[in-house]
Amino acid sequence: MRSADYKAPGGKLVRVRLNEENGEILSLRLSGDFFLVPEENLGKLEKMLIGAPLREPELQMLVDRFFNATRVQSLGVTRDDLVKALLAAREGAGH
Amino acid sequence: MEEAIPRIVGEGNAPNTVRFWHNSNTIVLGCFQMAEQEVNFQACKETGTKVVRRFTGGGAVYHDHGNLNYAISLKRGHPLVPIDDLQSVFRKLSEGAVQGLRTLGVKAEFQPINDIQVDGKKVSGAAGSIRWGTVFHHGCLLVSSNLSILGRVLNVPQVKLADKHVASVQKRVTTIRDELGRNISTREVREAMIGGMEDSYGVVLEEGDLSRDELALADRLFESKYNLPEWNLERED
C-alpha cells in the first residue's frame, strides 16, 4: 500500500491510497475535503486510473480525459493537483 | 431531509427553499472523506457523538445543539446563481449568512473557498452541489458549540493546520457567542439569518411545511442510505 496526503496550494487536501505492481495502479482510493460535482464521478476517475502507469504523462492524459468526458467541476483541487497527489503516492511509504 | 429537499425542488414540485435545523452531537463527513482518517472514534464513544456522511464534498464538521445549520435549495437557473460555478455559488449563497452575522454585531467575512471567518477564525463552513436540477448550498454556524468536544472528535490533519499557521483546530475556530461576549440562542441567530438573506437577496422568506413528497423521500433516503454504515463510514456509492 502506498499513500500520500497532498495539500493543494490554496486549496484542499487530497489523500491517495493505492496498491501498485511493476509501476501500475492495481487499486486506488481517492479521498479528501475537496469538491467535485456531480459527486458520483469520483468513482469513475478511480476506475479510469486502474492499470495506469504511475508516470506523469499518462496520469495527466487520463485525468484530462476524465475531466473532458464527464464535464465535472472541481473546486479546491485542480487536474494538476490530482496528478501531483498520485505521483506523491508513488514515492509515499505504506501506511 | 437534506437530500430530499433539493431533489424535490429540482423536480419543480417544491418552491425554492431555505431550511434551518440542528442536531445533537454529530460529526458530518464530506462525501469524499474516509471516516477512519477524520474521526477519533474513541472520543466519539466517550462523548456520545455520532458519525454521518453528507452528499456534498468539503471537510468534516462537528454539530451539536449549539450549532445552527441552514440549507438553500434553488432551482437551477435561479437569478441569484445564474452560472453553474461552485465557487460563485458559495460566495453568493454565503452573503445572506454574512449579512445576518453582521446585524448581530459579528464582523464576519466570506473567506474562499467555503468559509465565513471573524478575524481569521472560522465561524461557519459551507458545502454545496449542483445536481438534480438544483443549486444546493448548506452551511453550519457555530453559535455556542462545545469547541473542546469538537477538538477531540475531529482528527484534523497537521498538513492543514500547518498551512493555516495554527497549532490546533480549536485555535482556528470560534463561536458567535464568544465573538459577541454574551449568550445567544440559535433561535436569535436564525432570525438574524432570515433577515440577512432577505436583505441580501431582496426576497421575502415565507414559513412553510415540508410536503408529503419531501417527507416520504426523506424516509426512503434514511432507510436506504443515511442510516447505513456502508454509506456513513465507507462511502459505498
Angle at B7 between CA B83 and CA B18, to 5 degrees: 70
Q: Pairing between strand B26-29 and B50-53? A: parallel
Of B60, B86, B160, the CB nearest to A75: B86
Q: Which of B32, B122, B172 to mutate to test the interface with A (most CBs of A within 10 A)?
A: B32
pLDDT at B164 (0 to 100): 65
Per the CB < 8 Å rule, is B57 touching A29? no
Query: How far is A89 from B92, CA to CA, in rounded Å?
Result: 36
Instruction: With beta carbons under 8 A apart, name residues in chain A contacting B130.
Output: 37-38, 73
Q: Please give the model's pTM, rounded to 2 decimal places.
A: 0.95
Would you say residue A52 has pLDDT above 70? yes
* Residue B130: predicted pLDDT: 97
- Taking only the tens of pLDDT, chain B with its 237 residues reads 999 999 999 999 999 999 999 999 999 999 999 999 999 999 999 999 999 999 999 999 999 999 999 999 999 999 999 999 999 999 999 999 999 999 999 999 999 999 999 999 999 999 999 999 999 999 999 999 999 999 999 997 766 666 666 667 777 999 999 999 999 999 999 999 999 999 999 999 999 999 999 999 999 999 999 999 999 988 765
Task: Tell me whether B203 touches chain A (CB under 8 Å).
Answer: no
Residue A79: alpha-carbon gap to chain centroid: 9
Query: What's the 3-state SS for B182-197?
Result: CCCCHHHHHHHHHHHH
Partner-chain residue, chosen from B33, B87, B131, that has the shortest CB–CB distance to A38: B131
Residue B85: its chain A contacts at CB < 8 A?
A: 73
ipTM for the predicted complex comes to 0.95
Cβ B32–A36 below 8 Å, yes or no?
Answer: yes
pLDDT above 60 for A95? no
What's the grid cell of residue A87? 505521483
Give the per-residue pLDDT at B200: 98
Return the pLDDT at B183: 97
Where does B61-217 show beta strands of DSSP type E?
Answer: 61-63, 67-75, 108-111, 115-118, 121-131, 134-142
User: Which of B86, B157, B159 is facing A35, going by the closest CB pair?
Assistant: B86
For the cut 70, the answer to whether the pLDDT of residue A44 exceeds it is yes
**Number of C-alpha atoms within 13 angstroms, CB side, residue B138?**
27
Q: Do B58 and A33 touch (CB under 8 A)?
A: yes
Q: Cβ contacts (< 8 Å) between A30 and chain B: which residues?
A: 32
| 3-class DSSP state of A47 | helix
Residue A93 confidence (pLDDT): 66
Exposure string over A45-79, b if 16+ CB within 10 A, otherwise e? bbebbeebebeeeebbebbeebbeeeebbbbbbbe
Whether residue A75 and residue B113 make contact (CB cut-off 8 A), yes or no, is: yes
Residues B33, A12: C-beta atoms closer than 8 Å: no
